[in-house]
Structures are given as C-alpha cells and as structure tokens.
Amino acid sequence: MNRILIPVALATFVGGLTVLAFSQRPWAPRQDVEQPIPFSHRIHAGVNKIPCQYCHEYARRSQTSGVPPVQRCVGCHGDALVGGLQPVTRPWTDHAQPPFEIRWNRVYTLPDFVKFTHQPHIWAGVACQECHGPVETMDRVEPVHEINMGFCLSCHEKRGATQDCFVCHH
C-alpha cells in the first residue's frame, strides 16, 4: 500500500508546490515597506551598538524573533534619557492614554508550506547578517538576499545541515 501512497503523496506535494512556483510569490521579501515610526537600525544597532537580541529577544528561544514591545523602547526613550525624541516620546509617556503597541509592518515572510525556525540557526552560530544582510547599516530594513529554497539549500549544503524535503516542508 505504502509503495503506491508515498509516490502519489510526493507527486501531489511536488505538483502543488510547482504550481505555486509559477504563481506570484506573495511571501517574497518586500523592498518598499513603510513603518509607522521611522525606526533606524543604523542608529540603534550600528551607531549605538545595541545588540540585536536585546530587542529581538525571542530569536534564540523560539520560532520567531518578533519585534520588541513598546515597553522596550520606553526603557530608553521614556524618561528622556535619550534626547531629541519629542514626537515619538510623547504618546509613550502620556499616562492619560491607554497603552498601545506599535504596529510594525513585516519585511520578511515565508509561505505556510515552509517550516523555518530561528533557533537552530542561532545555536549553530549562523549570524543574523548571513540571511538579513548588514541590518546595522540600514535606516530601513531592506532584504539583501531573496530568501528562496536555493538560498536555504546552498548554505545547508555548505554547512552540512539537512537537505531533507520534509524537514523544511510540511
């Protein structure tokens, strides 16, 4: 039974993905993402050398790196520890207003049929920059590499990591 089912399942899986390959790829990293606040990685991670994982604290531990909660910004900007920020500090320190979170727009996404987690990469010592480029030089995050299957596989081959279809695909 399995002798028939496995090839059929595989063919369906590959067929489905191939159709996707020729359709638009809505998950391709975007070059033109606008953010609600002009947050600059160059100023924070570059000039002021704030470690990536101070803000993206979940990268090491879980699937997503996440973006920092506004509380993290307030830690530095709330009491005017850092000057020159009136327009953005005001709502953070105005206790008359209900608390809010900043809605950042995503730059990187992957399709649902790919499993990606940051954790094994960070534990294996892969630098953020190998995938995201020199973020610490960017005023606005822009993808440097197109994150496609070839990109994943060429590094996996070099580093002796998995090439098994079902480790990356559901």
Question: Could you say which residues in the range 48-107 bind ligand HEC, by CB under 6 A?
Answer: 48, 50, 52-56, 59, 64-68, 72-73, 75-77, 82-85, 88, 104, 106-107
What's the closest the beta carbon of residue 125 comes to ligand HEC, in angstroms?
A: 7
The answer to whether residue 6 forms part of the interface with ligand HEC (CB under 6 A) is no
Find, among 125, 131, 170, the residue nearest to 147 by Cα: 131
Rounded Cα distance, 107 and 30, in Å? 5
First to last CA, the chain: 22
Rounded Cα distance, 144 and 128, in Å? 12
- Structural contact between residues 70 and 101, judged by C-beta atoms closer than 8 angstroms: yes
Q: Which of 57, 78, 108, 144 binds ligand HEC (CB under 6 A)?
A: 108
What's the closest the beta carbon of residue 40 comes to ligand HEC, in angstroms?
A: 5
Q: Which of 14, 61, 93, 137 binds ligand HEC (CB under 6 A)?
A: 14
The answer to whether residue 21 forms part of the interface with ligand HEC (CB under 6 A) is yes
Distance of CA 15 to the CA centre of its chain: 28
Rounded Cα distance, 73 and 70, in Å? 5
Single-letter code of the amino acid located at 125? G
Q: Which stretch binds ligand HEC (CB under 6 A): 1-9, 93-101, 149-157?
A: 149-157
Q: Which of 12, 93, 137, 163 binds ligand HEC (CB under 6 A)?
A: 163
The answer to whether residue 130 forms part of the interface with ligand HEC (CB under 6 A) is yes
Q: Which stretch binds ligand HEC (CB under 6 A): 1-9, 93-101, 155-163?
A: 155-163
The answer to whether residue 141 forms part of the interface with ligand HEC (CB under 6 A) is yes
- CB neighbourhood size of 118 (10 A): 20
